[in-house]
Amino acid sequence: MSDITEQIEVALKKQGNPINGKDSEDDSLQYSSITAWKRSIGMMGKDHNEATTSATVSKSCQQWYKKGLGYWDNEETCPATVDGMLGGFARISKCDLKGSAEFIKYIKSSIRPTLKLKRDENSDVPTCACECGAGIGRVSKGLLLPLGISQCDLVEPSPRLISSAPEYLGDSASKCRFFCTGLQDFQPKADSYDIIWMQWMIGYLTDDDLVQFLKRCVIALREGGIVVVKDNTCSQEAFVVDRDDASTTRSLPYIIAIAELAGLHVVHQQFQEGFPEDIFPVPMVALAPDK
C-alpha cells in the first residue's frame, strides 16, 4: 500500500469518515476503499515485487494524466472560452468570482491581516499569485488581479489553452507569466507567492503528486501567504471517479487529510453559495503552513 494512501485512509477512518468510492457513471463500479480503486487501475501494485510494481504504477499514472490532458487539450470537449473552462456552466462564473472575492476579503480583514494583496501593503514589493490549472486565466483576470495582486503566474498543462490566455486576458496579460506544465512537474520558487489558487483542478492530480505539490507550495508561500483550494466535493463517499476526463472528486475530509500530510492547516473554510443544486457542493478552503 502506498504510504500516502494508508495515511489518508487511517485519517479518514479515525474521524469516522468513509473511505469507499464509486464511478460517476457506472453504478456497478463500486470501490471498498481508496486502495481498492487505485489497485483496479494500476496506481498501486498487487504484488510484492517492488521493481515491477514501481514501473507499473508509474506507467498507470502517466496514462491517467495523458487521458486528462487529452480531454482539456481537445477543442471539442473544451473550447478555449469561459464556458469551456467551466464545463458548460459559464453562467456561474460571475457568482463564483464574487464568492471568491468575498472569501479572500474576509480572510484578509478578519483572520489573516498579514496576507498581502497590494503592493503598498508589501513595502512596495510587487505581490504575486499563482493560478493553478489556469486554462485561459479566468481566475487571474476576474479575481486575483482585481484584488490588487501585482502579477499572476498561470500554470496550465494544455498548450492550446495557455496559448489562448493572452488574448482572453487582454491588457491584463502584461501582468502575467505563463507556464505550460502539469502541476505534478511544476517547481515554484521559494518565497514567491502571496496566494496560490487551486480551483477545479486538484482532482486531476494523484494523491501522492498532490501531497508533493502542496509541500512545494509551503516553500513557495511568502510570509502571511495562503493556498486556496476551491473544488467539487462529494459527501456520501470518499471519492467519485470520472473516467471520461480522468478526474477524482474527493470528500472535504479527504482533501483536508491530504493538506495536513503536506504540512498545511485550515485557516478558514466555507461553501460557495448560489450555485445550481445539480452540481457538487463547492467549498473554499484557505490553507496556511503549520510553521
CB burial readout 60-97, b (16+ within 10 A) else e: bbeebbeebbebbeeeeebbbebebbbeeeeebbeebb
Give how far Cα 234 sits from Cα of 138, 162, 253, Å: 24, 29, 10
DSSP type of residue 2: -
**Max intra-chain CA distance, the chain:** 58
The model's pLDDT over 38-61, given as tens digits with 9 standing for 90+, comes to: 999 999 876 545 555 788 888 999
Question: What pLDDT was estimated at residue 6?
Answer: 96
Q: What percent of the chain has pLDDT over 70?
A: 97
CB atoms within 10 A of CB 55: 12
Question: What pLDDT was estimated at residue 56?
Answer: 84
Question: What pLDDT was estimated at residue 282?
Answer: 98
Nearest-Å Rg of the Cα atoms of the chain is 19
Distance from C-alpha of 221 to C-alpha of 276, rounded to nearest angstrom:
33
Residue 105 scores a pLDDT above 50:
yes
- For residues 117-125, average pLDDT: 96
Q: Is 146 left (phi over 0), alpha (psi -120 to 50) or beta?
A: alpha
Strands 176-179 and 151-155: parallel
CB 125 within 8 A of CB 119: yes
Sign of CA dihedral 6, 12, 18, 22: negative
Q: Which H or E run contains 23? A: strand 21-23
Residue 125 scores a pLDDT above 90:
yes
Residue 223 scores a pLDDT above 80:
yes
- Strands (E) across 38-183 are located at 128-132, 151-155, 176-179
- For residues 145-152, average pLDDT: 98
Distance from C-alpha of 7 to C-alpha of 144, rounded to nearest angstrom:
34
Question: What pLDDT was estimated at residue 287?
Answer: 98
Amino acid identity, position 272: Q
pTM: 0.96
- Altogether, the residues listed in the chain come to a count of 291
